[in-house]
Structure 1
Amino acid sequence: MNDIQTIIRLAARGDGITADGRFVAGAAVGDEIHFEDGKPVIVPGPGHVVPVCRHVPECGGCQLQHITDQAYCAFVLDRLVRVLGPMMPADVAPVALSPPRSRRRIAIRAVRRGGQLLLGFNSESSHRIIDLQQCEVMLPELFALVAPLRALLHETLAEGQGAGLTLTASDTGIDLLVANIHAESLDEIQRLTDFARAHGLARLSVEGAQGVETVYEAQTPQLMMGGVRVSLPPAPFLQATVEGEAALVAAVTAATAGARVVADLFCGLGTFALPLSRAARVMAVDAAGPAVASLAGAARAAGRPLDTVHRDLFRRPLTPDELKPFDAVVFDPPRAGAEAQVKMLATSAVPRIIGVSCNPSTFGRDARRLADAGWAIEKLWPVAQFRWSSHVELVALFTRR
């Protein structure tokens, strides 16, 4: 018996949903689904395209490579509408979509098993590693290291041993952090040093039980942020793409225009604090000690009006009294959101609050608390820098109703 349905929207994780509520992986809005003996057969519609990567759909990095850019941007907006509901503002900027092969920071895994070295991303909803032969999201210079790293780790890892790798493309070269490998004997250190030198790495560090240790450093990895050169600690948090960062910074700059004193909470290396310090006095707060130290040194060297505070905002959020001096507050928390800090912001006298989020679900929770306290989202900037994934980011300007 044939059962024919049409995909009417995409779920939060990218699966197609039929009118009767069934989920179909790999489907796009407008696809016709023939259920034959309960199994879906996809007849592609106008929003469906052939994925450009051979690893789709096994690789968990690109759930939505099978849909057009227009359909992808529609998914991003629909995701925000469904999370925010009546809080969604009328003023919404176009989706800022990062191009293919633009990811400048990636985390991949390796394991040696059965005499083979597998290196790549996890498969969807699994710990199985997809051995990368192609990648359409990471920068070409990062992907060029995949094959050499596979050879290096084949010699380095024992049977059954795994390792994690974080690669970051900086202005001064690639920074590589490898977790769970030994770098104690002269032979082990020499092998890693030879690899780093042969492939022109800026820095190679290893992470073990004693923490992170730099094995090789030809140049300190650095990035320009707001016209200031910032030195990067190993495996720093960065916005995923240059284009995505530019879109987020432009939105935050627009939302804080005219503010003379600004707080940047969960500031990291200064993605927003440094650009904002061109026109305002900035207090930048974060619990990540190495990032705060790098930001403080960079701001001091550049003579920027920027003060740093090393503080855990989850345990010790800024209170309404502490927030009084600021014309605007920017908060950019991890995926868990900023529940404790938002409670303080909600009852503060700050004229403007700018939320930056990489998780619409926790942002929705924090936005509802602000809405309940009399705040409204005046403008929203959606950003899709994790191209083809279900990962959605945004900037939102809150003002008092």
Structure 2
Amino acid sequence: MTAPVGLGLARVTVAAPKRRIDVALPDSALVAELLPHLLRHAGEELADEGEEHGGWTLRRATGGELEPTRSLAVQGVRDGEVLHLAPRRLDWPELAYDDVVEVIASSARRVGRSWGNAATRRCALAVTSALFGLGVVNLLLSGPPWLAPGAAALGFAAVLGSLGAPHLLVGSAALVVFGVAGSVGVAAAQRVFIAGAGTGIAGGLAALLCLFGMGPAGAAAVVVTLAISLLPGYPLAASWLGKLPVPPLPERPEEIMEDRPAPRRSVVFAAVARSHELLSGMLLATAVVSAAGTVVLVLNRSGAGELLALSAALALLLRGRLFPTPVQRVPLLVSGLAGLALLTFGMILRGSPGPARLVPLVLVATAAALVLTAGLMASRRAPSPYVGRVADIVDVLAIMALIPLACAVAGVFHAVQGLFASVG
């Protein structure tokens, strides 16, 4: 049985043209750095022979070539795996497959690690620490007034208050331009540029709403609601934009037996990696937009705005559990937790000094205990399917609640009420 390679040595077998070598290679070294040493042990004449066919390369048993500029650990080389030292120009046909969905699933496993029990445990500990930190803030605020921090915050607020919708529109447009240019011109970190472009689009929409007369809280409510309501459609949009090959559904009985040409495995791998980056960027943009919108809603201090921020945080936390990789799940969890922290912080600031501040402290301590207990239990045993079903229902209800709450914050209900009053 094979085991994932850790930070150390990868024990592999290298099949050279004339011999087989059992070696332990540092999994953090680049493949290009290892090739000269492997050629020296595989045969002295191999280096000279490589000039005739463009050099040597390492391939898996499936025919996939290991990239010279990446390490063994990054490319998922496992202990006990057999690597073939083959000429670079050798035509190595890929393995044939029958089900494109199976190839997509295997490609997704190569893109990144899935969320496991260790990640659940670390997340629970991190959230517990953050909640305790929020409790410390509550204790600090219950003491004497802090004039110096208040003056500094007032200075920052004065600077930020001078910026308006036109500045936001220009900045968002620049962010969209740089995001699109980066995604086209840079091969790495595509999710960052896609997230930047998505955040710029949301900021531009909020700026346009403000220019047309809507208040900042209403614009934030509309943008947050739109970003979170589209969460269920992001995977489909990413697979479509990433050109992920999907097997066509037969329309007639005779089409079931037709032998359709399947795309190359390398094409499927590239499409899966591209779709993964697109989806990760969309989720990161949603997390950033939701966190920024929650700040505006909390500062507005309206009941509908705070309920909207609460529903958005719950939707992000519950929807985040459906994504399998940490790079997709963590931004949603962080944004949802940040929203809850902002709501709690606003409640602390509005509370009167003295014993009344103990109420948020008790709530924070209770939440920390519940999160720590649930996280440690979930890291040892998977939750019951009934719990997952309840979470799905609450997730749908939280997303559905965003629309009427956004209408309340934006003043749509008051406008409709005034319209009917004028008619009557």
**TM-score normalised per structure 1:** 0.23
Name the structure with the higher strand share: 1
Larger Rg: 2
- Which of the pair has the greater relative contact order for Cα pairs under 8 Å at 6+ separation? 2
**TM-score normalised per structure 2:** 0.22
